[in-house]
Amino acid sequence: MISGYLITILITIVIYAMLAHSLNIITGHAGQISLGHASFFGIGAYTSAMLYTEAGFPFWISVPMAAVAAGIVGALLGIPCLRVRDDFLAITTMGINFVVEAIFLYLPFFGGAMGIGGINLPGWFGREMTKPEYFILILVVFGLLLLLDRRMGRSWIGLAWASIREDELAAGAMGVDVVRFKVLAFILGSAIAGLAGGFYAHFLTFIMPQNFGFGQSIVILSMVVFGGIGSRWGPIVGAIILGVLPEVSRPIMEYRILIYGILLLGMMRFQPGGLLGPESILPRILRRSVYGLRGQG
Amino acid sequence: MSLLEVRALSKEFGGLRALDGVSFAAQEGEILGIIGPNGAGKTTLFNLISGVYPPSNGEMSFQGESILRMKPHQISRLGIGRTFQIVRPFQNLDVETNVLVAFGHRYYPSLWKSSAPFRQPGILREVQALIERAGLRSYTKHLAKNLPLGFKKRLEIARALALRPRLLLLDEPSAGLRFEESAQLMELIRQVLGEGIGVLLIEHNMQVVMDLCKRIVVLRRALPGKFVQTPWSSRPIWGRRHKCWKPGRSRFLTASFWP
């Protein structure tokens, strides 16, 4: 039987992978940079927690509602974000993150700095789910999301996103409804982040505003950039590596944000495509280690 | 009824009047040249017609329908395709996918239909035909960013043709091309004209303009007195002064076309 510690890390990593995947839809597929993704994570977590503790809804309703709520807020916030691009969009989304965190922190309704406690793991078959069962549940949900992503990637929605990412002006001139597809990306990305938030709240049983701050947004973005913006498996690999790293050694945990910042800078400078992205050094290293230095490219 | 009718079109950027009361009409199957010195507002005119930004004043109608308040994608769906002065293909997509993008509005009109795969044999055949027409057959799977400039320009035309346009806006198609490349491009434009598609052609190469166009619109830089004052600019902003009037070209313009 796997230990409780290991299963905790595994669940955390799947939740991070889900978050990185959701940010990848907005930033990787549709090309809209977001520095405030943790706010949707937070909206999902708080929606789910409030519905569960205050309104008494069961897990199976509160978590889907978390996705819906985050998706709606994502659409509402996505519409003003349509008017700005690139660096201005980055600053706007960052601002959104601070506002959302402040709302959770200062409104007594949301429990203030104390956060919300008393959220439990879901029940099924008349008992509470064990952690390994919970792990399998979110893994299955994540798998379904990845299947959906694959379908989207092959569909015209995926192509429309790619054209907007490449050149918004030219996409508009080719008949692509830029506004529609941008908002769609914001809705989907936010909703999946909200879903991850719901899972997170029920797993941690206790949430507070600091979990959903700007630092968290940077962690999620680091995972996406590290693994490879726009690739399907990149963000997941990024989430696994950057999720395991702090657990392997405690010093890394303490300087987590610093290390992520350095990683982000280093990747931007030397591997802008990420580990699994185009022009990655990874295949070259692998080839060299298999064929030796004389290996033919 | 003319294909495109533009009446008293003006555009001001802050205090700079880029276009001042331009009026003309383009007919089907006609190629209308648009010439004028740098900064005369030729590209601004294209951006207004294709809806990149709204005009400050004036009227535009396409096939009798006003396109004044339309968004770029709505205008392109009506049948106005365009190319860009500085080429803008989707750099990291291959040639085939570049052209495919322009098929979207016809085959995937609703969001629900958009979730169907975009590579469908029927559409791909049409795409292939367009690519062959543009002479890019052996480059179908090449990324747009790896193509030389002349090919990128032809790709842009293929992409615009995929919209099944009634009117094509070409912004300096021959700029930066070698003579043969330019000639191939002109051949493509002639073919397009033969199909009854109207063309607006911005071009600095007067040889090309003379060869292709029967009618020409000449834009001049707005006169100094015509710069406007707005609440945002207490004094008029002057455009860059146009210094590079090559004597030959200048004489040529004034002699043949200046009204």
- Closest-CA distance, B33 to chain A, in angstroms, reads 21
Which residues of B lie inside 8 Å of A (Cβ-Cβ)?
Answer: 50-52, 71-73, 76-77, 81-82, 84, 88-93, 97, 100-102, 104-105, 107-108, 111, 113-119, 159-160, 162-163
pTM of the model: 0.85
Instruction: Provide the pairing of β-strand B16-26 with B65-66.
Output: unpaired
CA dist., res. A128 & res. A144, Å (int): 24
- Taking the C-alpha atoms of residue B152 and residue B150, their distance in angstroms, rounded to an integer, is 5
> What does the pLDDT look like over A213-251, one tens digit per residue?
998 998 899 899 888 888 888 899 999 988 888 777 777
The domain spans of chain A are 4-291
- Count of C-beta atoms within a 10 Å radius of residue B129: 13
Q: Quick one: CATH architecture of A4-291?
A: Orthogonal Bundle (1.10)
**Quick one: which H or E segment has residue A292?**
none
Contacts of B115 by beta carbon, 8 Å cutoff, 6+ apart: A151, A152, A155, A156, A157
**Alpha-carbon span B253 to B259, nearest angstrom:** 10
pLDDT-derived band at B214, boundaries 50, 70, 90: confident
Which of B49, B80, B90, B105 to mutate against chain A (most A CBs within 10 Å)?
Answer: B90
Q: Dig out the tokens for B210 from the structure.
A: 């003379």
Q: What is the domain extent for residue B37?
A: 4-45+52-250
Verify whether the Cβ–Cβ distance A154 to B119 is below 8 Å.
yes
| pLDDT at site A230 | 84
Q: Are B29 and B16 in contact (CB under 8 A)?
A: no
Task: Give the residue on B whose Cα is nearest the Cα of A166.
Answer: B90
CA dihedral over A236, A213, A144, B122, signed as positive or negative? negative
**How far is the first Cα of chain B from the last one, in angstroms, to the nearest whole number?**
25
How many domains are there within chain B?
1
Looking up residue B70, the CATH number of its domain turns out to be: 3.40.50.300
Is A169 close to B52, i.e. CB distance below 8 A? yes
Q: Which of B89, B91, B102 sits opposite A175 (nearest CB)?
A: B102
Model pLDDT, residue B222: 56
Give the burial string for A46-68 (b: 16+ CB within 10 Å, else e). Answer: bbbbbbbbeeebebeebbbbbbe
Average pLDDT rounded to a whole number, residues A275-288: 76
Question: Do residues B41 and B6 lie in contact, with contact meaning Cβ atoms separated by under 8 Å?
Answer: no
CB contact under 8 A, A162 and B159: no
The interface predicted TM-score (ipTM) is 0.81
Shortest Cα–Cα distance, B168 to chain A (Å): 11
Verify whether the Cβ–Cβ distance A172 to B73 is below 8 Å.
yes
What gap in Å lies between CA B113 and CA A237, rounded to an integer?
32
Question: First and final CA of chain A: distance in angstroms?
Answer: 44
Per-residue pLDDT at A97 exceeds 80: yes
